[in-house]
Amino acid sequence: MKRTGYFLYRTSKNYFFYGMCVVGTLIALVPLYLILYHTLALGLPALNWNFFTQMPKPVGEPGGGLANAIAGTLILVGLGACIGLPVGILAGIYLSEFGNGIFGTIVRFLTDVLNGVPSIVTGVVAYTLIVIPTRHFSAYAGAVALGILMVPTITRTTEEMLRMVPTMYREAALALGISQWKMTLRIVVKTASGGIVTGIMLAIARIAGETAPLLFTALNNRFWHTTLDQPIASLTVFIYNYGVSPFEDWIAQAWAGALVLISLILILSIAMRFATRSKYQASSL
Amino acid sequence: MTDLKMKITTENVHAFFGTNEALKGISVSIPEHSVVAIIGPSGCGKSTFLRALNRMHETVPGGKITGTILLDGADIYAMDAVTVRKRVGMVFQKPNPFPTMSIFDNVAAGLTMNGIRDRKLVKEIVEESLHKAALWDEVKDNLGKSGVSLSGGQQQRLCIARSLAVNPEVILMDEPASALDPISTAKIEELIYELKPHYTIVIVTHNMQQAARVSDYTAFFYIGTLVEYGITKKIFTMPEKKQTEDYITGRFG
Amino acid sequence: MRLGNASIALQENKADLFFRGIVRFVALLIVVLVCLMAYEMYASSAPTREKFGFSFFFSSAWDPVQDQYGALPFIFGTLVSSLIALLLAVPISIGIAVVLSELAPPFIEKPLSFVIELLAGIPSIVYGLWGFFVLVPWLRGDVEPLLISLFGSTPFFSGTPFGIGMLAAGMILAIMILPIIASISRDVLNAVPRAQREAALALGSTRWESTVIALRYSRSGIIGSAILGLGRAFGETMAVTMVIGNRPGISASLLDPASTMASVLANEFTEATSTLYVSALVEIALTLFVVAVLVNSVARLLVWSVTRQDGGRA
């Protein structure tokens, strides 16, 4: 009798705890659903042609758009990538092909350290490195901050993808009398290119959504940028400024901006999933 | 053997992986236009020796070679490694055509990556190499297909064509048929026979019957040392060393 | 026809050296960069370091007008909000990990994993926007009055329901760190050798009991992921700054507004006029940097040691 009772207790414990896990998972999905729902519901109405083409109107005047902010984000991301991509890819190549010693371990460790640095701290560093000496906020400063943020992600994915290329291809290339640098770039990197591009897209998605490091580097700009060594508008900072403002119109535009951001990231995520999926199907050996 | 021209001569070659000595004083002469088989139990250093001949051993961390290796009388360590590898080609145990390239590009890889731009010339060499590797008829209509879409045996012949395109003088083969089915194996062995008049071939094999079939000379390695080296027929019928005899008759292996 | 001759080959050698040199140089750049970051912040915070010394971390006097700076309120805010986030996120994340690793069939597990990773991709500012316009009103209207009526006598839930404050920040942070704890815990759980679970089942335990054994086995990896989540929570800026109220102060009540190291930087950096003010903020950034580095290193070591054990790659 006791045996059955205890067994029932254990069985119900079984269902209870598994049930709790499922409940927990559902609880976690609720905010995700709500965020997507609200962004869509509140952002879609304000998402019109004007949003993409018009400039912000002066304070208090309704209407206008965030064309300069969208352009600004594209410029900042593009410039940041000019810094982050070469450094990340070359460092990834180093770690994969040459980084098996102590120096490699140090670099790998510091890349992880860099990855864990809060983005606002990176903004502070960009401020002291660039804004202070040049005496003004600029797109360059913002781009440097974003570029630094990209490096760890790209370095790590590049290294991982390159390591996944089997040694036998390297050996086959060397045995043909192909020099090491050609072998690395034109065979190893080429083979891993799908995964590397995925890493790049991941990094771009991350920095496109960053606000904190831009707050005191690129600052913001209600007007179209004229040069790159002045403050420049960005979608994220505009969302922040508009979101905390008292104007309904601006708040609606903030949500529209959030919708644009989320859509961009969603598209990139799905594209990345596609890219990695087809990679696995390609290897038939 | 003494009146033959030697293509490769090694003198007292030792090979190390860090502090681990894998080859202990190998002195061997490989005659031109012959097929030399290297046999021996697992771990005896056959592959290590092969990879010393085209300076691939040093690409492994901790890989070191002492002693002399002469190619046509010239020390390969006095030459640039890249040059050595162009003259001494290698085919690996597992067929490894480059996965991102077509059949054509695979064969042309050694040429295009070394700056040969003349497309007509490249096309000629690719076709010629595929003929030599007995693969042309099977792929001539599909040169644009991916290199990895072929069967195992075809991929290995593709790798052989790829090595041939660079016009080496020596071809090293590291157990080229061990991953293949019997029919493909037979094709590869036939290929070796056809290539012999134009190249010098050194083949590592764990299959003694294969060594007996394809090679003119056989070297028996055991735990890093060269136990016996001579004409294949003699090694397999009247070996001089007891160890050789034991291995051949299957007393260990 | 001979391909390549000695001089071309030697050139290739030079190209190889150049290539190796460049990648080594860039790798060195990363080392230099991290050191430079630390150095810059250290140098730029010299004024406050010299003036206040270690009392900077123990004083709660944050008065820019009087040029008095103490970082204690922000350290307090960061710690408490992150701890609330951990308390909320870890149980749920483990639940998610169990569902992903053991319960869900593949046709549910893959989209579910994808969806959880989507949570990780949402930018901080969007969390902030949603937190401010949706979460905070809900807290103000429904949750906090309830908490006050239930626990108002304790110091933790006393005060007026503003909506914004420590609790809101903790909740938003919890949502944000869920994905990382859940996905690493799922990976760690997946890495538990089948033999362990099967041994438990063979001894007659229920499925849940074998799961508990698997959880115990992956304990250090899960702790590592929690610490990683903690590190992430420490550095979160935009979402926190929009819901925490940005009032430097130390209070026991979760319903009171507060401020974190990251949020004060976001708020006050552009308004910092005097050198001492900027120096104080940079010193806070430096503290955040050091803390984040330490926490992440510990976490990585834990997670790394677990995945290494089972033959995984670091």
Distance between CA atoms of residues C289 and A121, nearest Å: 7
> What CATH code is carried by the domain that includes residue A110?
1.10.3720.10
Distance between CA atoms of residues C159 and C167, nearest Å: 12
φ, ψ of residue B213 to 5 degrees: the values are: -75, -45
Q: What confidence tier does C309 reach under pLDDT thresholds 50, 70, 90?
A: low
pLDDT at C1: 26
Question: Residue B170: its chain A contacts at CB < 8 A?
Answer: none
Question: Residue A172: its chain B contacts at CB < 8 A?
Answer: 92, 96, 98, 159, 162
* C64 close to A138: Cβ distance less than 8 angstroms: no
Residue A53 falls inside a structural domain: no
Residue C203 or residue C171, greater confidence = C171
CA C214 to chain centre: 25
Query: Token digits for A235?
Result: 């979608």
Residue A166 above 70 pLDDT? yes
pTM of the model: 0.88
Answer yes or no: do A211 and A263 share one domain. Answer: yes
Residue A108 falls inside a structural domain: yes
Distance between CA atoms of residues A207 and A202, nearest Å: 9
pLDDT at A2: 54
Looking at CATH, the fold of the domain delimited by B6-248 is given as Rossmann fold (3.40.50)
What is the helix (H) or strand (E) element at residue B192, kind and residue range? helix B182-195
pLDDT at A277: 63
Neighbours of C154 (CB within 10 A): 11
Answer yes or no: do A17 and A124 share one domain. Answer: no
Through-space distance between the first and last CA atoms of chain C, rounded to whole angstroms: 48
Domain ranges in chain B? 6-248
| Residue located via tokens 């460790």 | A109
Instruction: Name the residue range of residue A25's domain.
Output: 2-37
Residue A146 falls inside a structural domain: yes
Segment among A244-248, A265-269, C304-308 with least mean pLDDT = C304-308
Residue A1 above 50 pLDDT? no
* B24 close to B222: Cβ distance less than 8 angstroms: no
Q: Please name which of C2, B202, B105 lies closest in space to residue A173, comparing C-alpha atoms.
A: B105
Distance between CA atoms of residues A96 and A169, nearest Å: 14
Q: Which residues of C3-16 are buried (b: 16+ CB within 10 A; e: fewer)?
A: bbeeeebeebbeeb
3-state secondary structure at position B8: strand
- Summarised one tens digit per residue, pLDDT across range A181-235 is 999 999 999 999 988 998 899 899 989 999 999 998 988 888 888 888 889 999 9
Burial label for A102, CB within 10 Å (0-12, 13-18, 19+), is exposed
Answer yes or no: do A19 and A128 share one domain. Answer: no
Residue A59 falls inside a structural domain: no
CA B161 to chain centre: 13
Residue A230 falls inside a structural domain: yes
Rg value, chain B, Cα: 18
Inter-chain touch C23–A93, beta carbons under 8 Å: yes
- Is the minimum CB–CB distance between A179 and chain B shorter than 8 Å? yes
Residue A8 above 50 pLDDT? yes
Handedness of CA C4, C9, C12, C16 (dihedral sign): positive
- Summarised one tens digit per residue, pLDDT across range B46-88 is 999 999 999 999 888 888 999 999 999 999 998 888 999 999 9
Residue C25 above 90 pLDDT? yes
Question: Residue A171: its chain B contacts at CB < 8 A?
Answer: 56, 59, 90, 92, 96
* C258 close to C167: Cβ distance less than 8 angstroms: no
Residue C10 above 80 pLDDT? no
Name the residue type at position C44.
S
* A173 close to A124: Cβ distance less than 8 angstroms: no
Residue A179 above 80 pLDDT? yes
Query: Token digits for A24?
Result: 């927990």
- Is the minimum CB–CB distance between A127 and chain B shorter than 8 Å? no
Residue A125 falls inside a structural domain: yes
Interface test with C, best of A27, A95, A117, A237 (most C CBs within 10 A): A117
Residue A60 falls inside a structural domain: no
Q: What average pLDDT score do residues C164-168 get?
A: 92
3-state secondary structure at position B75: strand
Pairing state between β B217-222 and B225-231? antiparallel
Inter-chain touch B80–C9, beta carbons under 8 Å: yes
Name the residue type at position B164.
L
Alpha helices in A97-192 (DSSP H): 102-116, 119-126, 132-134, 139-163, 167-175, 180-182, 190-191
DSSP letter string, B12-72: EEEEEETTEEEEEEEEEEEETT-EEEEE-STTSSHHHHHHHHTT-GGGSTTEEEEEEEEET
Q: Tell me which chains share at least 3 CB pairs under 8 Å with chain B.
A: A, C
pLDDT at A282: 38
Answer yes or no: do A249 and A187 share one domain. Answer: yes
pLDDT at C306: 66
- Summarised one tens digit per residue, pLDDT across range B1-29 is 567 889 999 999 999 998 999 999 999 99
Q: State how far residue B139 is from chain A, nearest Cα, in angstroms.
A: 18
Q: What confidence tier does B164 reach under pLDDT thresholds 50, 70, 90?
A: very high
Pairing state between β B88-91 and B74-75? unpaired
* B45 close to B224: Cβ distance less than 8 angstroms: yes
Burial label for C35, CB within 10 Å (0-12, 13-18, 19+), is exposed
State the Cα torsion B194-B197-B202-B206 to the nearest 10°: 30
Inter-chain touch C30–A110, beta carbons under 8 Å: yes
Q: State how far residue B170 is from chain C, nearest Cα, in angstroms.
A: 14
Distance between CA atoms of residues A250 and A177, nearest Å: 64
Q: Which residues of B53-86 are buried (b: 16+ CB within 10 A; e: fewer)?
A: bbbbbeeeeebebebebbbeeeebeebbbbbbbb
Answer yes or no: do A32 and A90 share one domain. Answer: no
* C155 close to C80: Cβ distance less than 8 angstroms: no
Residue of C nearest to A244 (CA): C242
Q: Tell me which chains share at least 3 CB pairs under 8 Å with chain A.
A: B, C
Distance between CA atoms of residues B15 and B21, nearest Å: 6
Q: What average pLDDT score do residues A265-273 get?
A: 82
How many independent structural domains does chain A possess?
2
Distance between CA atoms of residues A154 and B231, nearest Å: 57
Inter-chain touch C269–A34, beta carbons under 8 Å: no
Distance between CA atoms of residues B85 and B80, nearest Å: 9
